[in-house]
Structure formats: structure tokens, C-alpha cells
Structure 1
């Protein structure tokens, strides 16, 4: 099935499996065959399948698609990173399902998770389309002159080769606790993209969020988070009930802001970033009140509402450091905002994955009826389509 093929290229299978359910063939005529043969759509009873909104046609359709077992043409290094990250996220998911308040990760696990989240974005449709746009002369992005010079200096034949080289450089990167990797990385890959990776790692913190309402769920799309120097949040769904949120360091954080120097510096960064946009005084995050905070670590402690170096520690980062991440329960309003952000960015998506129909129905109804936050811009840029995505979503028989 075509939507599944597209999904397998951009979204790791272990994430898709977290959104899956066992396939149950319909009881209609001809739905069952003898000898354990395949049942409808090439799927067996009990196979892991996904509820998908197929966006490849003018009118979106609801389908079930199998979670493919095929690795396709993913590089071996990428497969290894996915496998190691799957172990980390499976540990996180199990702790959450057991009702534990949080999870402890070491520095290596935390860094691997951040690397994985960037790779998901960098191998996604945005960068994939950017670097596979043809030769150096048909490349029309703002860094064209820099890229052409870099290709000439390093002997690359086309932008795609640079992209693959960058992927390998990040996959091979050892992120030492002292941060020397930030100096070394621009020496082994296209410097603007090295700076992008460094910004991704350094400009936000990781939080795990879960809906406080039992029947609320997150959805999943193949539109990876876009790079923006005023990107307050990026999202990485782990399952329908658990999501990674990368929250920008320019947003208020109670413990850090207790130090007035840190607070003043943060506010200065926010003001500078806001000046890139019209009406900078109105640049605000619609998730500014999201109840999430930075993970606690093994080398600091909280005393009288302030962070200080823990006894026996120097305050310097070490490879043995531990980080305690809470599972932050978030209200329905915040879940709706996150899902609406996904739905508002489906113009170039091939499909949407959801876990349960009742939750997805409520998500769609909320998105279609809310008048807040400037949502429902999905129709912009669809002038050649016979029907807009927004109109198509209204017709989905999910109730």
C-alpha cells in the first residue's frame, strides 16, 4: 500500500508499532481463507496494522496499512541508531505504562535520543526534497552559494552526496561531555548544517508529556519538525499516549529564572529572535504555559528554590552524569494544540496515523471548530487540488 511505503521511509518502524493494533478481517463474504493465507489487503489476522488517513488523493481516505517488516534502503549506520534508540524509548514507554513518575537516562542515552530526533528531521521530507532537487545549478535554497563552494572544495558531484555525507558525519559523531564535538563537527560536514545540529542540541531541553485525560491521544504525521530559529517547540510522538517535547531555552523556566543573570540572558535571546518577524512584540508561544520543565541531573540539587552544585560535584559535565525526566501530565487543551499543530502542517504529508477512532474524531472536531491560535491554514497553497485538505478532512467517516 502506497501510504505505508511513504511512512516506512520517514518514520522508524518501532514508532509505528507503538501506534498499531492487531488486524481483524471483516466478517463479510470472502474475508477468510483456509491454510492461514493472507486476509484482505495482504494482511493476516493478528498482524500489526495502522489506522491511516491517506492523503495521497484529492479526497482523504481512511485505511488500514501494515507495519512493514522491510528495511528498504536505509544505511546500516542509520539502522543501528534506530535500534539503539528503540531500546531507550522502549524503556521510557514501559516506565510510563507502569505508572512510574519518570525515567532516568545517562548522558549517552540522552545525547543519542537528541541525535535521533535530529536525524528523523534531517532524513525527513523537507531536507530529503531540498538535497535531492537535482544538480548544483538547480539547487535554489538560500545557502546555494555556500553549498556550491563547499562542493567544489570537497569534490562532491551533487547536493545529494553532501546530504548523505552529512548524515554519516552526524551518525559517526561521538558527543563528548566536554562539548568538543561542537568544534569538530563543522570540520567534517557542511558547516551550516553542522551549526543546525548544534543549535538543535543546545537550544532546547527534552521533556516527556502524556495526556491527563484517559481518552486523549496524540496523532502522528510524516511532516517532521521544521528548522526555525524561533521554534519554541518540536515534537516527537513515541506512542498515542506519550510524546517527546523539545522546549526552547528562551521560554521561562522557574528554576533557571531564579538566577537573574540567566533570566536576563534568556529574555535578551527571546527579544533578538523576535525581531526577525513582523510585530515582534506579539511573538509568543501558544504553549508557553505547558507544564513541563528541564530534567534534574546528578550534579546539581535544588536548595530554597534555586539550583546549586551538588555535594562532591564540580559542576562540570561528565560522561557518567544521570538525568531524571518526569512524565508531565498535560491537559486536554494542550493535547489539542499539539495535534492541531500537526494537522495545520499536513499540506505536504502523505498520511496521518492515529490509534483509536473516538479520540481521532474528537481531535478532528476540535481542530475544525476552534477559532483560536490562527489554525486551519492547511488550505493555503492547494490551488491546483480539486478539493482542499480541510474540506476532505471534514468528510472523513471516523465517527
Structure 2
């Protein structure tokens, strides 16, 4: 009989790497796979192959130190939820969460790509994935794992009898086992099944008794499924909204920032719950009671000024769930809707969310909530030093008494950010705004968020952001400018001196659109010509194809203004230039 294999130690992230990568500096994000392989070879040659290419800014609040950390070794813990008692699969939960994480990453990428349209539509099954993901991001946070179901923790006193009974019933030795059981339950059970279980328990116990339990004044030791109730209390009591940071501003990330409570409603915490998913995007869960004017007036919240709308719903059924004349009718509709949600057809319901663009003060308010709640031994991560400086300065100027108490925690960060300004510090705010705009358009095009009739139209959208005197610092903009100059020099080097009667045409511009037929013809001619010049740009990726096609437009405009006769000889009757 073989001895069960001893599990290897594993560093397990409580903030996924796909989120951390979005907080990498711009120059790191823009690297292609080829460039990353080249960087790895250089590191290996230098004897530092163990170092990761992907790094993030990491501010240690306790030490007051800002440095770079490998994304693979940040915001995680060794053996976070390793199931040692299961020799057949010691990392069952990690593998199950990876499946959920992959689906959530795809959805979050889609939200990013939808920012230009200012809204996104997703199916119910996708929304359920997103809901479960953000819930578990809070549930599995390493700072909460040891205390979430700690029988002796003061905050768990109303739950202590239930924890003790649950451990006895399941043969658990440690409080951690209760948390681990919940993690497995959430990953193994569909969203709608968890909600249905909780709603059945609500019917059994009644709303009043259950409400008393939910605020943890007294929890029945024999309560059947507290895990389901915790999940339902977040899913049904809050509607989901999506926010985009103001132009030139970004959200910050913290070690305990997922699922932060914010604001008081009727004296109880939980007007909002906050989840930053990238430097540009945050998900806010807003208490459904805030839709009622009489309750909205009682809320104490720094985020109450953010106008979030509930998603509009298009049901995949002809049933009407909207009209109820009285309390009985409302209960009947609620029951019908609950039954419908558990059907396969409901998985195809469509939810359309508006993406709310925030103002700079609103962006700073969200960052202030995060910075206020960072643990004394926690950490802060940001992408742009310019945006981080704006955020820290706003925090230092805050009138909130709690923020004033924590100013000392960020004084070292402020000093670090101000002592190393970017090279173009005098024009940094507007420059950063232009770079953010360029990146937004680039990401949207590459992600397929915007449809174009032709490749020419697609490249022209990016080309419009590249002015002749452009100082964009985005790596792709720099690459386009550099290669444009190189190609123009190569091209003009093959030409003789211009005719004496040939005058430059500085007013020449590219047409805004080309038909697909003309676009295909245009790029076919130009790419063959570049090949003859010995120029190889793209590597087969969507990004580099777009970069190549944009470079071609930049080259053609330069030639149209300086050596239009050469361009006309090459392109013939393709209608690209307007004078």
C-alpha cells in the first residue's frame, strides 16, 4: 500500500494575478510575449533568472517603504487553503477557484473593453459568476481567514454557539475547518442553488427572527446553513454597479480592500461594499434600501453622491415579474421569480449595466475608503505614480477625522512620490490624461469592443490620437513614432531628388474611412512595399497587427505631405488622401 504523497508548499494568491497584472507599470503591460522572453534571457544571462519580469509597486504601511514586488509573490500566502486531509487532491479548492477565476477574468476583460460604450450586457450565468467571484474575494482574504469563524473572536460572540455545534456535527477540530467547509460549499454549489437554500430558510424562520440573526444578535445553534445566509445577504440585499475612475485618476489596491463595508444606513454598517478590480474599474454593491427616498435621507456615506443605476433586465421568458398590486401579489411574483431563476432558461436572461464615470473627487473618495481601512501591517499598490500622488495628496487634505489620524501612515509614501517626479513633471497631469485616453482606445480596439467596417477604419481611430507633435509616452505610441520615422527615411532614401516644380502639400490628410475592398487593397500594396524595404513589424497578434496598420497610416500621411508623387505612383487610384 503506497503512502499518501506529502503535499508540496504552494504560494496561493488571495488577490488573483490577473488583477495584479493590471497594476503593473505601463511599460511592463505593453510587453509582448517575445519581449518578455527576451527580458527573461537577459535576466538568466545576468544570473537573476529567478526574478520575475512582472512586478508591481508595493507600499508597506507598517515599514513606510515603497518598492517593487514580483506579482507572483505578492498578495498571497503559503498553503492558504490546502486540504491536507485529502491525499487524493490536496489543492482541490485552489483548482476549483482557478476555474471560477478564469471565467471572472474573461468577464472583467469584457467590462474593460466596454468602457467606450459606457455599458455592458451580460447573461445571468455570467452575472452569477461575477457575484460569486467578488463574494469569495472577500471571504478568502488572508487577513480574515483565521478570524472569520473564530469561536473566541469578540465579533463572533453571537455566532459562537453555532460554530461550536457545527464543528461537533461535522467532526471538525479547528475553527478554520468551518471556513474551509464554506469555501468548498460556495465553489461546489451553483449561485442560484445557494440563494434558493437561503430563501427557503427565510420562509422557515420568518423575516423578523432571521433579521435578528443576520445582525448577529443571536444565532440559533442548530441553524441549518449559515454559509448560505451569509452569501444571500450580500447577493439579494445589494445591487451591483460598475464605476470607472475619472480621467487622469486611478483606483488603488490594498491587501484587505475587497468587500470593504462603507457607510451607515439606519445606524448599521453596510450602505455599500467596495471591490476594486483594476486601476480603472471598481464594483460597488449598493444597499437596495437606498432606492427608497425616506431611507436614502438617513444614510451617512462618503459614496452617497455616486449615482448608480440598477441593471435593466431582459428576461428570456414571457412571464411578467414587474406588476404587483398589493402585498399578496408581490409575494406571488417573488415566488414565481425565485422558481424561474432556478430554471435553465433563466441563465440566458440579459442584464445591462451602465458604467458610471466618476469625477476626480469621487475617485479620491473611493481611494480614501481603501486607505482608511488598510490594516496597520497591510499594503497599498498602484499603477501610475502620478495618479497615486494625486490620491495621497487628497487623502492628506481630507477633513475626515479618521483620515487625519492615519496621515502618518502615508507620509513616507508622499515623500517618495514627490521626491521622484516623472521626467515631464510640469506637464504630467495632461500628459497622463492623453496617455490614458490612448490606452483606453488601444485596449478597446484590441479587445474587439468596437466594430469597424474595415481594417483602415480601425487603424484610423488610433491614428487620430497620434498628432504630428505628439508626446505620448505610452510604449506603443513611442514605437509607432519611432518606426514611422525609420520607414520614411528608408523610403525617401530609395528616391531621387524631388522635381523642382514639386511643392510640399502640408494640408494633405488621410480620408476618415475606406470601404473594406479599398482597405484590403491599400494594405496589401503597403505591406508588400514594407517587405521590400526590409521592414518586419507584426508578430501575428491583434495588437501588433493594429500597430503595423497604424504605422502605415502615419507613413502615408508623411509621404503625402512631402513626396506625394512617390505615394501616387505606389497606390494608384486607391482614394486615401484628401487635400
Query: Displacement of 1:237 after TM fit?
Result: 1.5
Cα–Cα, structure 1 residues 375 and 54, in superposed 2: closer, same or farther, change >3 Å? closer
- For 1:382-397, what aligned pairs fall within 5 Å after superposition? 388-397=408-417
Would you say the 8 A contact 2:260–2:275 is kept in 1? Answer: no
Structure 1 residue runs of 5 or longer lacking an equivalent are: 1-5, 25-30, 258-262, 272-280, 301-306, 380-387
Residue from 222, 225, 239 that aligns with 1:205: 239
Which residue, 19, 22, 28 being the options, matches 2:23? 19
Alignment match, 1:63 = 67
Question: Which residue, 103, 107, 113 being the options, matches 2:124?
Answer: 107
Is 1:294 equivalent to 2:310 in the alignment?
Answer: yes
Match of 1:249 in 2: 288
In the alignment, structure 1 residue 194 sits paired with structure 2 residue 228: yes
Structure 1 partner of 2:353: 325
User: Is 1:20–1:51's contact at 8 Å kept on the other side of the alignment?
Assistant: yes
Q: 2:56 aligns with which of 50, 59, 66?
A: 50
1:238 and 2:277 are equivalent in the alignment: yes
Aligned residues: 338
Is the 8 Å Cα contact of residues 313 and 351 (structure 2) preserved in structure 1? Answer: yes
Deviates more, 1:224-233 or 1:333-342: 224-233
Q: Within 2, Cα distance between the matches of 1:196 and 1:127?
A: 15
Among residues 120, 125, 131, which one is paired with 2:142 in the alignment? Answer: 125
Query: What residue is the counterpart of 1:9 in the other structure?
Result: 13
Q: 1:35 to 1:323 in 2, by over 3 A?
A: closer
Aligned to 2:178: 162
- CA–CA distance in 2 between the matches of 1:67 and 1:48? 6
CA-CA distance at 1:80 after TM superposition: 1.3
TM-score (norm 2): 0.52
Q: Counterpart of 1:376 in 2: which secondary structure? A: helix
> Which ranges of structure 2 fall in alignment gaps of 5 or more residues?
1-9, 30-38, 82-92, 205-221, 263-267, 324-332, 422-579
Q: Secondary structure at the match of 1:326?
A: strand
Question: d(CA) in 2 for partners of 1:101 and 1:220?
Answer: 23
Instruction: Return the alpha-carbon distance in structure 2 between the equivalents of residues 62 and 41 of structure 1.
Output: 23
Matched, 1:80 2:86: no
Output one character per residue of 1:184-231: Cα deviation in whole Å (capped at 9) or x when no partner.
799999733332211010111111111232x11000001133468531
Give CA deviations for 1:50-102 in whole Å, capped at 9, x if unaligned.
Answer: 111123xx431111112218996462111111112111111212222xx1221
From 254, 259, 283, the counterpart of 1:221: 254
1:342 aligns with 2:370: yes
Q: Do residues 151 (structure 1) and 190 (structure 2) align?
A: no
Comparing both chains, which one has the higher relative contact order based on Cα–Cα distances under 8 Å and sequence gaps of 6 or more?
Answer: 1
The structure-2 alpha-carbon separation of the partners of 1:119 and 1:35, relative to structure 1 and needing over 3 Å to count, comes to closer
Separation of aligned partners in 2, 1:208 and 1:225:
14
Cα separation, 1, equivalents of 2:14 and 2:99: 16
Q: Tell me, yes or no, if the aligned pair for 2:149 and 2:178 is still in contact at 8 Å.
A: no
SS at match of 1:176: helix
In structure 2, the residue corresponding to 1:336 is in which secondary structure? helix
Give CA-to-partner distance per residue, 1:103-151, whole Å, 9 cap, x none.
Answer: 1111111111111111111111343130586xx6x55531222211121
TM alignment of 1:251-290, pairs within 5 A: 251-252=290-291, 267=295, 283-290=299-306
Q: How does 1:361-372 map to 2 (within 5 A)?
A: 361-372=389-400
For residues 149-172 of structure 1, give each alpha carbon's deviation from its aligned partner in whole angstroms, at most 9, with x where no partner exists. Answer: 121122211111111111110111
RMSD: 3.7
Structure-2 residue corresponding to 1:93: 112
Q: Do 1:165 and 1:189's aligned partners in 2 also have CA atoms closer than 8 Å?
A: no
> Would the aligned equivalents of 1:221 and 1:349 in 2 still touch at CA under 8 Å?
no
Q: Distance in 1 between matches of 2:381 and 2:49?
A: 18
Greater Cα radius of gyration, structure 1 or 2 = 2
How far the C-alpha of 1:23 sits from its partner, in A, is 4.9
